[in-house]
């Protein structure tokens, strides 16, 4: 895998692979396959089963825990996607959901101790922190919907970190902080991520079949 391709997909723009790229690809393929199976007419297209297996082989032994807030949020969002797919009748590996939750919690514990959120705006990146805030929204919805008792207990361990969501949102909604270079240099993505943080349902919820 490569991290970024040209628009016409003929060449790699950034040849490296992100830590969670195969995982994201795997879960996205599960979602696409679930959508295909729900449609009334057969769909002719690429064999997603083969591609899904390739993604699975790529991340099988990967370590997912991260202290990066955007990556952390992505893990939590992936966990919520897997949970919803399971509830809709798709059957991703049940251990996958547990691994995602465990990795999210481990990374969150490290991040909360880092002191990054106590830094002034000029040392922080809003869009990465919003990724974490969106992930915490996902965990809250997961906790409300989970049926497995063991997973429910594990999700309760996130409760003490839920205030981080409001802290991040309040910090970056402050007009003074939005005048910092770290906000204005990334204003477009910051505004999109802030909007998603404030109204996460449109991003987080998979359509029911």
CB 143 within 8 A of CB 105: no
pLDDT digits (tens, 9 = 90+) for 68-123: 999 999 999 999 999 999 888 876 777 889 999 999 999 999 999 999 999 999 99
**Of residues 75, 68, 69, the one with CA closest to residue 23:** 75
**Phi/psi at 6 (nearest 5 deg)?**
-65, 160
**Of residues 137, 30, 153, 124, the one with CA closest to residue 84:** 30
**DSSP character at residue 3:** S
**DSSP character at residue 80:** H
Determine the Cα–Cα distance for residues 112 and 126; give it in Å rounded to an integer: 16
| pLDDT computed for residue 162 by the predictor | 97
pLDDT digits (tens, 9 = 90+) for 27-37: 998 888 888 77
Lowest mean pLDDT among 20-29, 40-49, 191-200: 40-49
Say whether pTM exceeds 0.85.
yes
**Which residues are CB-neighbours of 54 under 8 A, at least 6 positions away?**
none
């Amino acid at each position: 895998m490569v991290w970024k391709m040209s628009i016409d997909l003929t060449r790699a723009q950034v040849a490296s692979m992100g830590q969670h790229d195969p995982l994201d690809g795997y879960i996205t393929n599960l979602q696409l396959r679930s959508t295909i199976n729900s449609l009334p007419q057969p769909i002719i297209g690429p064999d997603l089963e083969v591609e899904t297996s390739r993604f699975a082989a790529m991340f099988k032994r990967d370590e997912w825990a991260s202290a990066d807030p955007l990556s952390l949020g992505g893990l939590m969002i992936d966990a919520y996607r897997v949970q919803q797919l399971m509830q809709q009748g798709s059957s991703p590996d049940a251990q996958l959901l547990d691994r995602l939750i465990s990795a999210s919690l481990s990374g969150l514990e490290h991040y909360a101790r880092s002191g990054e959120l106590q830094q002034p705006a000029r040392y922080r990146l809003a869009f990465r922190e919003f990724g974490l805030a969106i992930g915490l929204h996902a965990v809250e919805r997961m906790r409300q919907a989970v049926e497995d008792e063991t997973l429910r207990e594990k999700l309760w361990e996130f409760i003490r970190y839920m205030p981080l969501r409001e802290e991040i949102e309040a910090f970056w909604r402050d007009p003074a902080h939005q005048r910092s270079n770290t906000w204005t240099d990334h204003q477009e993505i910051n505004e999109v991520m802030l909007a998603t943080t404030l109204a996460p349902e449109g991003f987080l919820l998979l359509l029911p079949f």
